[in-house]
Structure 1
Protein backbone atom coordinates (compact mmCIF):
# COMPACT_ATOMS: atom_id res chain seq x y z
CA UNK A 1 0.00 0.00 0.00
CA UNK A 2 1.25 3.49 -0.93
CA UNK A 3 0.82 6.79 0.87
CA UNK A 4 -0.24 9.94 -1.01
CA UNK A 5 -0.44 13.37 0.61
CA UNK A 6 -2.41 16.31 -0.82
CA UNK A 7 -0.31 19.46 -0.46
CA UNK A 8 -0.64 23.11 -1.41
CA UNK A 9 2.89 24.38 -0.80
CA UNK A 10 6.50 23.61 -1.60
CA UNK A 11 7.11 23.26 2.13
CA UNK A 12 4.35 20.64 2.29
CA UNK A 13 5.91 18.80 -0.62
CA UNK A 14 9.27 18.77 1.15
CA UNK A 15 7.71 17.58 4.41
CA UNK A 16 5.91 14.75 2.62
CA UNK A 17 9.14 13.67 0.93
CA UNK A 18 11.13 13.82 4.17
CA UNK A 19 8.55 11.71 6.02
CA UNK A 20 8.40 8.99 3.40
CA UNK A 21 5.26 9.61 1.33
CA UNK A 22 5.25 7.81 -2.01
CA UNK A 23 3.77 10.73 -3.89
CA UNK A 24 1.91 14.00 -3.50
CA UNK A 25 -1.12 15.46 -5.15
CA UNK A 26 -0.12 19.09 -5.67
CA UNK A 27 -2.88 21.67 -5.89
CA UNK A 28 -3.84 25.21 -5.04
CA UNK A 29 -6.76 26.34 -2.87
CA UNK A 30 -7.44 23.05 -1.14
CA UNK A 31 -10.11 24.82 0.91
CA UNK A 32 -12.08 25.10 -2.35
CA UNK A 33 -11.56 21.46 -3.21
CA UNK A 34 -8.32 22.18 -5.06
CA UNK A 35 -7.40 23.85 -8.34
CA UNK A 36 -4.45 23.56 -10.73
CA UNK A 37 -1.17 24.61 -9.05
CA UNK A 38 0.74 27.57 -10.42
CA UNK A 39 3.99 27.21 -12.35
CA UNK A 40 5.92 28.66 -9.44
CA UNK A 41 4.36 26.24 -6.96
CA UNK A 42 5.14 23.25 -9.15
CA UNK A 43 8.73 24.29 -9.81
CA UNK A 44 9.41 25.09 -6.14
CA UNK A 45 7.84 21.80 -5.06
CA UNK A 46 10.06 19.89 -7.47
CA UNK A 47 13.10 21.58 -5.91
CA UNK A 48 11.95 20.72 -2.37
CA UNK A 49 11.19 17.11 -3.30
CA UNK A 50 14.42 16.63 -5.26
CA UNK A 51 13.22 13.42 -6.87
CA UNK A 52 12.33 11.66 -3.62
CA UNK A 53 8.67 11.12 -4.53
CA UNK A 54 6.24 11.46 -7.40
CA UNK A 55 4.45 14.76 -8.00
CA UNK A 56 0.96 14.49 -9.46
CA UNK A 57 -0.65 17.81 -10.29
CA UNK A 58 -4.37 18.34 -9.89
CA UNK A 59 -5.76 19.80 -13.10
CA UNK A 60 -8.98 21.61 -12.28
CA UNK A 61 -9.37 25.03 -13.81
CA UNK A 62 -11.97 26.29 -11.34
CA UNK A 63 -13.73 25.31 -8.11
CA UNK A 64 -17.35 24.20 -8.13
CA UNK A 65 -18.95 21.32 -9.97
CA UNK A 66 -17.40 18.94 -12.50
CA UNK A 67 -19.54 19.93 -15.50
CA UNK A 68 -17.16 21.75 -17.80
CA UNK A 69 -17.68 24.12 -20.71
CA UNK A 70 -15.67 23.92 -23.91
CA UNK A 71 -13.44 26.77 -22.74
CA UNK A 72 -12.91 25.02 -19.39
CA UNK A 73 -11.77 21.90 -21.22
CA UNK A 74 -9.45 23.91 -23.49
CA UNK A 75 -7.91 25.47 -20.41
CA UNK A 76 -7.33 22.10 -18.75
CA UNK A 77 -5.78 20.63 -21.90
CA UNK A 78 -3.23 23.46 -21.82
CA UNK A 79 -2.68 22.99 -18.09
CA UNK A 80 -2.05 19.27 -18.53
CA UNK A 81 0.53 19.89 -21.23
CA UNK A 82 2.17 22.59 -19.14
CA UNK A 83 2.52 20.73 -15.84
CA UNK A 84 3.78 17.56 -17.52
CA UNK A 85 6.26 19.50 -19.65
CA UNK A 86 7.57 21.14 -16.48
CA UNK A 87 8.22 17.73 -14.95
CA UNK A 88 5.14 16.53 -13.06
CA UNK A 89 4.94 12.73 -12.97
CA UNK A 90 1.20 12.66 -13.47
CA UNK A 91 -2.08 14.54 -13.48
CA UNK A 92 -5.32 14.21 -11.55
CA UNK A 93 -8.49 14.97 -13.51
CA UNK A 94 -12.24 14.37 -13.54
CA UNK A 95 -15.40 15.46 -15.36
CA UNK A 96 -19.05 14.44 -15.22
CA UNK A 97 -22.12 14.94 -17.36
CA UNK A 98 -25.22 16.63 -15.95
CA UNK A 99 -26.73 13.16 -15.58
CA UNK A 100 -23.89 12.10 -13.28
CA UNK A 101 -21.96 9.87 -15.68
CA UNK A 102 -18.28 10.17 -16.55
CA UNK A 103 -18.05 12.73 -19.36
CA UNK A 104 -16.29 10.35 -21.71
CA UNK A 105 -15.54 12.77 -24.62
CA UNK A 106 -14.06 15.33 -22.21
CA UNK A 107 -12.08 12.77 -20.23
CA UNK A 108 -10.78 11.09 -23.38
CA UNK A 109 -9.45 14.45 -24.57
CA UNK A 110 -7.74 15.10 -21.22
CA UNK A 111 -6.19 11.64 -21.07
CA UNK A 112 -5.02 11.87 -24.68
CA UNK A 113 -3.44 15.23 -23.94
CA UNK A 114 -1.53 13.72 -21.01
CA UNK A 115 -0.33 10.66 -22.94
CA UNK A 116 0.71 12.72 -25.96
CA UNK A 117 2.74 15.04 -23.76
CA UNK A 118 4.29 12.31 -21.64
CA UNK A 119 3.51 8.70 -22.58
CA UNK A 120 4.48 7.38 -19.13
CA UNK A 121 2.41 9.93 -17.20
CA UNK A 122 0.19 8.63 -14.41
CA UNK A 123 -3.43 9.71 -14.84
CA UNK A 124 -5.72 9.64 -11.79
CA UNK A 125 -9.47 10.21 -11.75
CA UNK A 126 -10.31 12.24 -8.66
CA UNK A 127 -13.28 12.26 -6.29
CA UNK A 128 -15.66 13.41 -8.98
CA UNK A 129 -16.46 9.68 -9.04
CA UNK A 130 -18.07 10.15 -5.63
CA UNK A 131 -20.59 12.54 -7.21
CA UNK A 132 -21.37 10.17 -10.07
CA UNK A 133 -24.71 8.39 -10.07
CA UNK A 134 -23.15 4.92 -10.13
CA UNK A 135 -19.49 4.42 -9.09
CA UNK A 136 -19.36 0.89 -10.50
CA UNK A 137 -20.50 2.09 -13.91
CA UNK A 138 -18.02 4.96 -13.67
CA UNK A 139 -15.23 2.50 -12.94
CA UNK A 140 -16.11 0.49 -16.04
CA UNK A 141 -15.74 3.65 -18.13
CA UNK A 142 -12.43 4.58 -16.50
CA UNK A 143 -11.05 1.10 -17.18
CA UNK A 144 -11.71 1.65 -20.87
CA UNK A 145 -10.16 5.14 -20.82
CA UNK A 146 -6.78 3.95 -19.57
CA UNK A 147 -6.51 5.52 -16.13
CA UNK A 148 -3.73 4.57 -13.72
CA UNK A 149 -5.83 4.96 -10.58
CA UNK A 150 -9.03 6.31 -9.04
CA UNK A 151 -9.26 8.40 -5.87
CA UNK A 152 -12.53 7.74 -4.07
CA UNK A 153 -14.25 7.67 -0.70
CA UNK A 154 -16.51 4.86 -1.88
CA UNK A 155 -19.38 7.18 -2.81
CA UNK A 156 -19.75 8.32 0.81
CA UNK A 157 -18.76 11.45 2.70
CA UNK A 158 -15.76 9.63 4.18
CA UNK A 159 -13.64 6.69 3.10
CA UNK A 160 -14.41 4.93 6.38
CA UNK A 161 -18.12 5.05 5.66
CA UNK A 162 -17.53 3.93 2.08
CA UNK A 163 -15.46 0.86 2.91
CA UNK A 164 -17.97 -1.65 1.53
CA UNK A 165 -18.12 0.12 -1.85
CA UNK A 166 -14.35 0.55 -1.88
CA UNK A 167 -14.04 -3.21 -1.46
CA UNK A 168 -16.40 -3.76 -4.39
CA UNK A 169 -14.40 -1.36 -6.53
CA UNK A 170 -11.17 -3.20 -5.72
CA UNK A 171 -12.76 -6.52 -6.65
CA UNK A 172 -14.15 -5.17 -9.91
CA UNK A 173 -10.89 -3.47 -10.90
CA UNK A 174 -9.14 -6.87 -10.87
CA UNK A 175 -5.77 -5.14 -10.65
CA UNK A 176 -6.28 -3.28 -13.93
CA UNK A 177 -6.56 0.10 -12.19
CA UNK A 178 -5.48 1.15 -8.70
CA UNK A 179 -8.18 2.10 -6.22
CA UNK A 180 -6.95 4.74 -3.75
CA UNK A 181 -8.98 5.58 -0.67
CA UNK A 182 -9.31 9.23 0.27
CA UNK A 183 -11.77 11.74 1.65
CA UNK A 184 -12.13 12.18 5.40
CA UNK A 185 -9.67 9.33 5.88
CA UNK A 186 -8.55 8.71 9.46
CA UNK A 187 -5.31 7.03 10.44
CA UNK A 188 -7.37 4.41 12.24
CA UNK A 189 -9.00 3.53 8.88
CA UNK A 190 -5.71 2.42 7.31
CA UNK A 191 -5.73 -1.21 8.52
CA UNK A 192 -9.25 -1.72 7.17
CA UNK A 193 -8.28 -0.11 3.86
CA UNK A 194 -5.32 -2.43 3.56
CA UNK A 195 -7.41 -5.47 4.44
CA UNK A 196 -9.88 -4.49 1.70
CA UNK A 197 -7.08 -4.47 -0.88
CA UNK A 198 -6.80 -0.74 -1.48
CA UNK A 199 -3.64 0.15 -3.41
CA UNK A 200 -3.08 3.42 -1.58
CA UNK A 201 -4.45 5.88 0.94
CA UNK A 202 -4.68 9.63 0.40
CA UNK A 203 -4.96 12.36 3.01
CA UNK A 204 -4.26 16.07 3.35
CA UNK A 205 -2.51 15.80 6.74
CA UNK A 206 -3.19 19.46 7.32
CA UNK A 207 -3.36 21.72 10.34
CA UNK A 208 -4.46 25.34 10.60
CA UNK A 209 -2.05 28.15 11.41
CA UNK A 210 -3.25 31.55 12.65
CA UNK A 211 -1.47 34.78 13.60
CA UNK A 212 -4.65 36.59 14.64
CA UNK A 213 -3.42 37.04 18.22
CA UNK A 214 -0.37 38.90 16.91
CA UNK A 215 -2.37 41.46 14.93
CA UNK A 216 -2.77 44.96 16.33
CA UNK A 217 -5.24 45.86 13.59
CA UNK A 218 -7.71 43.21 12.43
CA UNK A 219 -8.74 43.32 8.79
CA UNK A 220 -11.80 41.29 9.70
CA UNK A 221 -14.15 39.28 7.50
CA UNK A 222 -17.86 39.61 6.98
CA UNK A 223 -18.47 35.98 7.87
CA UNK A 224 -16.49 36.19 11.09
CA UNK A 225 -13.75 33.80 9.99
CA UNK A 226 -10.13 34.32 10.99
CA UNK A 227 -8.58 36.41 8.18
CA UNK A 228 -5.05 35.24 9.05
CA UNK A 229 -5.75 31.50 9.05
CA UNK A 230 -4.22 29.13 6.53
CA UNK A 231 -3.36 25.45 6.44
CA UNK A 232 0.01 23.70 6.31
CA UNK A 233 1.08 20.10 5.96
CA UNK A 234 1.55 18.67 9.44
CA UNK A 235 4.79 16.73 9.73
CA UNK A 236 3.62 14.59 12.64
CA UNK A 237 0.48 13.50 10.78
CA UNK A 238 2.47 12.50 7.69
CA UNK A 239 4.92 10.62 9.90
CA UNK A 240 2.10 8.81 11.69
CA UNK A 241 0.43 7.93 8.39
CA UNK A 242 3.72 6.54 7.06
CA UNK A 243 4.12 4.45 10.20
CA UNK A 244 0.56 3.11 9.89
CA UNK A 245 1.09 2.17 6.24
CA UNK A 246 4.44 0.56 7.04
CA UNK A 247 2.81 -1.48 9.79
CA UNK A 248 0.10 -2.96 7.56
CA UNK A 249 2.57 -3.56 4.74
CA UNK A 250 4.89 -5.41 7.11
CA UNK A 251 2.03 -7.46 8.54
CA UNK A 252 1.02 -8.61 5.07
CA UNK A 253 4.55 -9.91 4.43
CA UNK A 254 4.76 -11.96 7.62
Structure 2
Protein backbone atom coordinates (compact mmCIF):
# COMPACT_ATOMS: atom_id res chain seq x y z
CA UNK A 1 0.00 0.00 0.00
CA UNK A 2 1.37 3.39 -0.96
CA UNK A 3 2.26 5.70 1.90
CA UNK A 4 0.06 8.74 2.39
CA UNK A 5 2.08 11.91 2.73
CA UNK A 6 1.04 13.89 5.81
CA UNK A 7 2.03 17.55 6.11
CA UNK A 8 4.78 17.99 8.68
CA UNK A 9 4.54 20.17 11.73
CA UNK A 10 4.29 23.78 10.65
CA UNK A 11 3.11 22.82 7.18
CA UNK A 12 -0.43 23.54 5.99
CA UNK A 13 -2.43 21.00 4.05
CA UNK A 14 -3.42 22.19 0.57
CA UNK A 15 -6.74 24.00 0.59
CA UNK A 16 -9.62 22.08 -0.95
CA UNK A 17 -10.77 23.60 -4.23
CA UNK A 18 -13.87 25.75 -3.97
CA UNK A 19 -17.02 23.97 -5.15
CA UNK A 20 -18.14 24.79 -8.66
CA UNK A 21 -20.97 27.33 -8.66
CA UNK A 22 -24.35 25.84 -9.47
CA UNK A 23 -26.29 26.64 -12.63
CA UNK A 24 -29.96 27.53 -12.16
CA UNK A 25 -32.26 28.10 -15.14
CA UNK A 26 -35.59 29.94 -14.91
CA UNK A 27 -38.28 27.94 -16.71
CA UNK A 28 -42.02 28.17 -17.23
CA UNK A 29 -42.87 24.66 -18.42
CA UNK A 30 -41.94 20.98 -18.29
CA UNK A 31 -40.38 21.40 -21.75
CA UNK A 32 -38.11 24.12 -20.38
CA UNK A 33 -37.13 21.92 -17.45
CA UNK A 34 -36.22 19.09 -19.85
CA UNK A 35 -34.01 21.47 -21.84
CA UNK A 36 -32.33 22.57 -18.60
CA UNK A 37 -31.77 18.95 -17.54
CA UNK A 38 -30.42 17.83 -20.90
CA UNK A 39 -27.95 20.71 -21.16
CA UNK A 40 -26.40 20.68 -17.72
CA UNK A 41 -28.44 22.76 -15.27
CA UNK A 42 -28.27 21.84 -11.59
CA UNK A 43 -31.78 23.02 -10.77
CA UNK A 44 -34.60 25.15 -12.14
CA UNK A 45 -36.63 28.04 -10.84
CA UNK A 46 -40.23 27.68 -11.95
CA UNK A 47 -42.67 30.51 -12.50
CA UNK A 48 -45.32 31.69 -14.89
CA UNK A 49 -45.49 35.15 -16.48
CA UNK A 50 -41.77 35.47 -17.07
CA UNK A 51 -42.59 38.59 -19.10
CA UNK A 52 -43.92 40.14 -15.86
CA UNK A 53 -40.93 39.19 -13.76
CA UNK A 54 -42.49 35.87 -12.73
CA UNK A 55 -45.61 34.80 -10.85
CA UNK A 56 -46.61 31.77 -8.77
CA UNK A 57 -47.30 28.71 -10.95
CA UNK A 58 -50.21 26.32 -10.45
CA UNK A 59 -49.94 23.16 -8.40
CA UNK A 60 -50.38 21.06 -11.55
CA UNK A 61 -47.48 22.86 -13.26
CA UNK A 62 -45.23 22.34 -10.22
CA UNK A 63 -46.06 18.63 -10.25
CA UNK A 64 -45.33 18.32 -13.97
CA UNK A 65 -41.98 20.10 -13.73
CA UNK A 66 -40.93 18.18 -10.59
CA UNK A 67 -41.54 14.97 -12.55
CA UNK A 68 -38.77 15.95 -15.00
CA UNK A 69 -36.18 15.14 -12.35
CA UNK A 70 -34.27 18.32 -11.52
CA UNK A 71 -34.74 20.07 -8.16
CA UNK A 72 -37.49 22.66 -8.64
CA UNK A 73 -37.46 25.94 -6.76
CA UNK A 74 -40.77 27.71 -7.17
CA UNK A 75 -41.26 31.46 -7.27
CA UNK A 76 -44.02 32.57 -4.92
CA UNK A 77 -45.22 36.00 -6.04
CA UNK A 78 -48.94 36.65 -6.09
CA UNK A 79 -48.95 39.60 -8.50
CA UNK A 80 -46.67 41.71 -10.68
CA UNK A 81 -45.45 45.14 -9.61
CA UNK A 82 -43.77 46.21 -6.40
CA UNK A 83 -42.89 43.95 -3.50
CA UNK A 84 -44.86 45.80 -0.82
CA UNK A 85 -47.69 43.49 0.21
CA UNK A 86 -50.73 43.97 2.39
CA UNK A 87 -51.88 41.44 4.98
CA UNK A 88 -54.17 39.57 2.58
CA UNK A 89 -51.45 39.23 -0.08
CA UNK A 90 -48.94 38.03 2.49
CA UNK A 91 -51.38 35.42 3.83
CA UNK A 92 -52.04 34.24 0.27
CA UNK A 93 -48.33 33.75 -0.39
CA UNK A 94 -47.88 31.87 2.89
CA UNK A 95 -50.56 29.48 1.66
CA UNK A 96 -48.89 29.29 -1.78
CA UNK A 97 -45.59 28.33 -0.15
CA UNK A 98 -47.29 25.34 1.44
CA UNK A 99 -49.14 24.42 -1.76
CA UNK A 100 -46.11 24.40 -4.06
CA UNK A 101 -44.05 22.37 -1.58
CA UNK A 102 -46.89 19.85 -1.28
CA UNK A 103 -46.83 19.68 -5.10
CA UNK A 104 -43.16 18.68 -5.20
CA UNK A 105 -41.05 21.84 -4.95
CA UNK A 106 -37.58 21.39 -3.45
CA UNK A 107 -37.43 25.07 -2.58
CA UNK A 108 -39.31 28.33 -2.70
CA UNK A 109 -38.26 31.78 -3.85
CA UNK A 110 -39.87 34.57 -1.83
CA UNK A 111 -39.48 38.17 -0.76
CA UNK A 112 -41.21 41.32 0.48
CA UNK A 113 -40.31 44.93 1.23
CA UNK A 114 -41.75 47.67 3.38
CA UNK A 115 -42.88 50.98 1.93
CA UNK A 116 -39.56 52.62 2.89
CA UNK A 117 -37.55 50.05 0.93
CA UNK A 118 -36.45 47.92 3.86
CA UNK A 119 -36.75 44.14 3.91
CA UNK A 120 -40.12 43.13 5.36
CA UNK A 121 -38.59 40.75 7.86
CA UNK A 122 -41.94 39.83 9.39
CA UNK A 123 -43.36 38.69 6.05
CA UNK A 124 -40.16 36.88 5.05
CA UNK A 125 -40.07 35.12 8.43
CA UNK A 126 -43.62 33.87 7.80
CA UNK A 127 -42.63 32.53 4.38
CA UNK A 128 -39.60 30.75 5.85
CA UNK A 129 -41.66 29.28 8.68
CA UNK A 130 -44.32 28.03 6.26
CA UNK A 131 -41.63 26.33 4.17
CA UNK A 132 -40.00 24.64 7.14
CA UNK A 133 -43.32 23.60 8.68
CA UNK A 134 -44.04 21.27 5.76
CA UNK A 135 -42.11 18.44 7.37
CA UNK A 136 -39.34 17.91 4.82
CA UNK A 137 -36.11 19.75 3.98
CA UNK A 138 -36.82 22.78 1.80
CA UNK A 139 -34.50 25.53 0.62
CA UNK A 140 -35.64 29.15 0.76
CA UNK A 141 -34.28 31.85 -1.55
CA UNK A 142 -34.83 35.59 -1.24
CA UNK A 143 -35.64 36.89 -4.71
CA UNK A 144 -34.65 40.09 -6.46
CA UNK A 145 -36.73 42.29 -4.22
CA UNK A 146 -33.33 42.85 -2.62
CA UNK A 147 -32.19 44.67 -5.76
CA UNK A 148 -34.86 47.36 -5.39
CA UNK A 149 -34.42 47.70 -1.64
CA UNK A 150 -33.03 50.93 -0.24
CA UNK A 151 -29.63 49.33 0.50
CA UNK A 152 -29.07 45.89 -1.04
CA UNK A 153 -25.86 45.16 0.89
CA UNK A 154 -27.37 46.15 4.24
CA UNK A 155 -30.39 43.99 3.37
CA UNK A 156 -28.10 41.03 2.69
CA UNK A 157 -26.65 41.41 6.18
CA UNK A 158 -30.10 40.58 7.64
CA UNK A 159 -30.45 37.27 5.85
CA UNK A 160 -28.40 34.85 8.01
CA UNK A 161 -30.68 35.48 10.99
CA UNK A 162 -33.80 34.74 8.93
CA UNK A 163 -32.89 31.16 8.04
CA UNK A 164 -32.63 31.72 4.29
CA UNK A 165 -30.62 29.36 2.11
CA UNK A 166 -29.64 31.87 -0.59
CA UNK A 167 -30.33 35.20 -2.23
CA UNK A 168 -30.89 35.83 -5.93
CA UNK A 169 -29.44 39.21 -6.82
CA UNK A 170 -27.85 41.38 -9.48
CA UNK A 171 -26.02 43.32 -6.78
CA UNK A 172 -28.61 46.06 -7.10
CA UNK A 173 -27.60 46.75 -10.71
CA UNK A 174 -29.70 46.53 -13.89
CA UNK A 175 -27.69 43.41 -14.76
CA UNK A 176 -25.53 41.21 -12.55
CA UNK A 177 -22.45 41.84 -14.68
CA UNK A 178 -22.66 45.49 -13.57
CA UNK A 179 -23.03 44.66 -9.89
CA UNK A 180 -19.80 42.80 -9.19
CA UNK A 181 -18.62 45.02 -6.33
CA UNK A 182 -21.89 44.64 -4.44
CA UNK A 183 -22.06 40.93 -5.15
CA UNK A 184 -18.65 40.48 -3.53
CA UNK A 185 -19.76 42.61 -0.58
CA UNK A 186 -22.87 40.45 -0.17
CA UNK A 187 -20.78 37.28 -0.12
CA UNK A 188 -18.69 38.78 2.68
CA UNK A 189 -21.52 40.23 4.73
CA UNK A 190 -23.92 37.26 4.71
CA UNK A 191 -21.93 34.20 5.84
CA UNK A 192 -23.86 30.98 5.47
CA UNK A 193 -26.19 32.41 2.84
CA UNK A 194 -25.43 31.47 -0.75
CA UNK A 195 -25.27 34.45 -3.10
CA UNK A 196 -26.66 33.59 -6.54
CA UNK A 197 -25.99 36.07 -9.33
CA UNK A 198 -29.02 36.68 -11.53
CA UNK A 199 -30.55 39.38 -13.65
CA UNK A 200 -29.56 39.94 -17.26
CA UNK A 201 -26.88 37.25 -17.05
CA UNK A 202 -25.30 36.14 -20.32
CA UNK A 203 -22.95 33.15 -20.56
CA UNK A 204 -20.07 35.53 -21.28
CA UNK A 205 -20.65 37.16 -17.86
CA UNK A 206 -20.07 33.93 -15.93
CA UNK A 207 -16.27 34.12 -15.44
CA UNK A 208 -16.50 37.56 -13.84
CA UNK A 209 -19.46 36.51 -11.69
CA UNK A 210 -17.75 33.39 -10.37
CA UNK A 211 -14.62 35.43 -9.69
CA UNK A 212 -16.78 37.64 -7.47
CA UNK A 213 -17.35 34.60 -5.24
CA UNK A 214 -20.98 33.75 -5.97
CA UNK A 215 -22.27 30.27 -5.17
CA UNK A 216 -24.51 30.03 -8.23
CA UNK A 217 -25.53 31.77 -11.43
CA UNK A 218 -29.12 32.13 -12.61
CA UNK A 219 -30.21 32.64 -16.21
CA UNK A 220 -33.58 32.78 -17.88
CA UNK A 221 -31.88 31.51 -21.07
CA UNK A 222 -35.00 32.50 -22.95
CA UNK A 223 -36.04 33.27 -26.48
CA UNK A 224 -39.40 34.18 -27.94
CA UNK A 225 -41.41 31.24 -29.20
CA UNK A 226 -42.71 31.28 -32.74
CA UNK A 227 -46.36 32.47 -32.72
CA UNK A 228 -48.88 29.73 -33.41
CA UNK A 229 -52.02 31.81 -33.78
CA UNK A 230 -54.64 30.58 -36.19
CA UNK A 231 -56.52 33.82 -36.83
CA UNK A 232 -56.20 37.59 -36.76
CA UNK A 233 -54.19 39.39 -34.07
CA UNK A 234 -55.70 41.91 -31.67
CA UNK A 235 -54.02 43.23 -28.49
CA UNK A 236 -55.16 41.39 -25.37
CA UNK A 237 -53.05 43.21 -22.81
CA UNK A 238 -50.09 45.46 -22.19
CA UNK A 239 -47.63 42.59 -22.69
CA UNK A 240 -48.79 42.02 -26.30
CA UNK A 241 -48.39 45.51 -27.72
CA UNK A 242 -47.67 44.22 -31.23
CA UNK A 243 -48.22 41.07 -33.26
CA UNK A 244 -44.48 40.35 -33.06
CA UNK A 245 -44.64 40.38 -29.26
CA UNK A 246 -47.81 38.31 -29.04
CA UNK A 247 -46.04 35.13 -27.97
CA UNK A 248 -44.29 33.63 -24.97
CA UNK A 249 -40.77 32.76 -23.93
CA UNK A 250 -39.21 29.29 -24.14
CA UNK A 251 -35.89 27.95 -22.85
CA UNK A 252 -33.09 28.12 -25.41
CA UNK A 253 -30.94 24.97 -25.30
CA UNK A 254 -27.95 26.71 -26.88
CA UNK A 255 -27.85 29.32 -24.10
CA UNK A 256 -28.10 26.70 -21.35
CA UNK A 257 -25.33 24.65 -22.95
CA UNK A 258 -23.07 27.70 -23.32
CA UNK A 259 -23.64 28.65 -19.68
CA UNK A 260 -22.67 25.12 -18.61
CA UNK A 261 -19.56 25.33 -20.79
CA UNK A 262 -18.52 28.65 -19.23
CA UNK A 263 -18.93 27.24 -15.72
CA UNK A 264 -16.87 24.17 -16.56
CA UNK A 265 -14.14 26.36 -18.05
CA UNK A 266 -13.68 28.53 -14.94
CA UNK A 267 -10.21 28.42 -13.37
CA UNK A 268 -9.93 25.83 -10.61
CA UNK A 269 -6.75 27.08 -8.94
Q: TM-score if structure 2 supplies the norm length? A: 0.87
Report what 2:202 is aligned to: 186
Tell me if structure 2 keeps the 8 A contact 1:96–1:103: yes
Report what 1:177 is aligned to: 193
Tell me if structure 1 keeps the 8 A contact 2:94–2:127: yes
Report what 1:117 is aligned to: 134
Report what 2:233 is aligned to: 219
The alignment of Structure 1 onto Structure 2 pairs a total of residues equal to 245
Larger radius of gyration: 2
Deviations 1:147-176 (CA, angstroms, capped at 9, x unpaired)? 0000000001000111111111112223x1
Aligned-pair distance for 1:65? 0.7
Q: TM-score if structure 1 supplies the norm length? A: 0.92
Tell me if structure 2 keeps the 8 A contact 1:66–1:96: yes
Report what 2:116 is aligned to: 99
**Aligned partner (choices 28, 52, 57) of residue 37 of structure 1:** 57
Aligned-pair distance for 1:26? 0.3
Aligned-pair distance for 1:142? 1.3
**Aligned partner (choices 234, 250, 255) of residue 232 of structure 1:** 250
Tell me if structure 1 keeps the 8 A contact 2:24–2:217: yes
Mapped partners of 1:13, 1:73: distance in 2: 28
Where in structure 1 are there 5+ consecutive unaligned residues? none
Aligned-pair distance for 1:227? 6.0
Structure richer in helix, relative to its length: 1
Report what 2:175 is aligned to: 158
Aligned-pair distance for 1:226? 3.0
Q: CA RMSD in A?
A: 1.5
Mapped partners of 2:195, 2:93: distance in 1: 24
Mapped partners of 1:39, 1:226: distance in 2: 31
Where in structure 2 are there 5+ consecutive unaligned residues? 1-20
Q: What SS does structure 2 have at the residue aligned with 1:179?
A: strand
